[in-house]
Every structure is written in structure tokens, then in C-alpha cells.
């Protein structure tokens, strides 16, 4: 069934239609929440809250933008509100901590490689979180969520030119701040991309 038809049926009270929309968009909403919170439980809670908000606001959706764009706008605003309330405290789940056993040289080398990769990922995440909000949101929507420029433009209610210039500025700021740190972690080749 087409998205517009699902939205219309959901607005008419068809629970199965809304459930289908949730199934379609839940992975993206969850992924977006996870990229900001870095906590699976918090991301799951946020995704559920986003869909509850969307369900309650569904009568006010008039289709001026795509349902996905409208839902991402709700997601971004809800996640930003959550982070403001939490004071952007870093959340870490015990599920994210992996148990590593060293039985031989190969496994030890692989574990070392994983630690370096995780160190780079953590460093990049820390620097992304330190960016001003307008740049952090743009980077997350484009580079983490993979949204096209047009959708980002609609979600954030910005002109495509503004989206492009902010994304360029955000990436440049991130590269500049990360370069000295990633050089020690063997990751400078990644900075030349994009």
C-alpha cells in the first residue's frame, strides 16, 4: 500500500495503517535517536515517544510535505528537547560493553583493532556532540541518517543553500578539530573524504 494511502487510512482511524507506517519508519527514527543518545534503551523510548506524538498530531498532518519529512521533523525536535532536558548527559548502556577474551595472538590483534576503531568512533562522536546544535543536527541527518538534502531542507525548514553551506561548514569544523587527534589513532585518511 502506498504511503499516502496509509496516512489517509490512519487519519481515518485505521490502527493497522498507522502500525504499517510505524514498521516502515521505526528503523530510521530509532537510528536517529541512537546516533544522538548512544543508548539503545533511550533511543527505543524516544522512538516510541516520537510515534506517539505523531499519532496524536496525525489529524493536523495535511500532506504539504511527505509523511517521512514530517515525522523526521517531529523526531529531531523531540530528540533535541530530550537532550536539552537531560543536559546532554552521556548515556552508556551495559549492553554496549563487550566482553573480550584473549586466547591467541590473532584474537588479541583483532581486539586491538576493534579498540582503535571504537576509540576513533568515540572521539568523532565526542567532537560531533561538541559542535553547535545547528551543525550537529545537519551532520546527523545527512551523514548518519543519510537523508537527501531536500528532505533535510524540509525537516529543518531551511533553504537547500543553507543546508549545503551548514553541512560544508560542519564537516570543515569537524575535520579541523579531529585532525590532530585522529593522526595518533591512524585515522587521518578518513578525514580527507567528504
Segment 167-184, tens digit of pLDDT? 899 888 888 887 776 655
Furthest-apart CA atoms within the chain: distance in Å: 62
The domain made up of 3-86 is a member of CATH 1.10.1740.10: yes
Q: What is the pLDDT of residue 103?
A: 46
The listed CATH number (1.10.10.10, 3.40.640.10, 1.20.1630.10, 3.40.50.300) that belongs to domain 102-185: 1.10.10.10
| CA-to-CA separations, 67 to 5, 16, 43, 124, in angstroms, rounded | 11, 16, 21, 31
More confident residue, 134 or 184: 134
| CA-to-CA separations, 62 to 8, 11, 32, 55, 110, in angstroms, rounded | 10, 10, 24, 14, 52
Segment 104-128, tens digit of pLDDT? 555 566 666 777 777 777 777 788 8
Q: How far apart are CA 106 and CA 9, in angstroms?
A: 56
Q: How far apart are CA 162 and CA 183, in angstroms?
A: 31
Helix, strand, coil tally for the chain in percent (to 5): 75, 0, 25
Q: Where are the domains of the chain?
A: 3-86, 102-185
- Stretch 144-157: mean pLDDT, rounded? 86
Q: 43-52 burial string, b = 16+ CB within 10 Å, else e? A: beebbebbbe
| CA-to-CA separations, 71 to 10, 22, 161, in angstroms, rounded | 14, 10, 22
Segment 39-88, tens digit of pLDDT? 889 889 999 999 989 988 888 888 888 898 899 889 988 988 888 887 75
* Predicted TM-score (pTM) of this structure: 0.56
- Give yes or no for residue 92 having a pLDDT over 50: no
Share of the chain above pLDDT 90, in %: 14
CATH topology identical between 3-86 and 102-185: no
Amino acid at each position: 500500500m502506498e504511503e499516502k494511502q496509509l496516512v489517509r487510512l490512519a487519519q481515518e482511524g485505521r490502527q493497522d495503517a498507522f502500525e504499517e507506517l510505524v514498521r516502515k519508519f521505526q528503523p530510521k527514527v530509532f537510528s536517529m535517536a541512537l546516533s544522538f543518545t548512544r543508548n539503545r534503551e533511550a533511543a527505543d523510548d524516544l522512538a516510541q515517544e516520537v510515534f506517539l506524538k505523531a499519532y496524536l498530531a496525525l489529524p493536523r498532518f495535511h500532506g504539504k510535505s511527505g509523511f517521512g519529512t514530517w515525522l523526521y521533523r517531529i523526531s529531531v525536535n523531540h530528540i533535541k528537547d530530550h537532550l536539552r532536558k537531560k543536559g546532554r548527559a552521556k548515556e552508556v548502556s551495559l549492553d554496549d560493553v563487550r566482553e573480550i577474551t584473549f586466547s591467541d595472538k590473532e584474537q588479541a590483534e583483532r581486539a586491538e583493532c576493534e579498540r582503535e576503531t571504537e576509540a576513533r568512533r568515540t572521539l568523532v562522536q565526542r567532537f560531533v556532540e561538541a559542535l553547535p546544535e545547528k551543525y550537529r543536527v545537519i551532520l546527523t541527518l545527512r551523514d548518519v541518517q543519510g537523508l537527501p538534502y531536500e528532505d533535510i531542507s524540509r525537516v529543518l525548514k531551511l533553504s537547500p543553500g543553507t543546508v549545503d553551506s551548514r553541512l560544508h561548514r560542519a564537516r570543515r569544523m569537524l575535520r579541523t578539530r579531529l585532525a590532530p587527534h585522529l593522526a595518533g589513532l591512524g585515522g587521518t585518511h578518513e578525514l580527507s573524504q567528504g
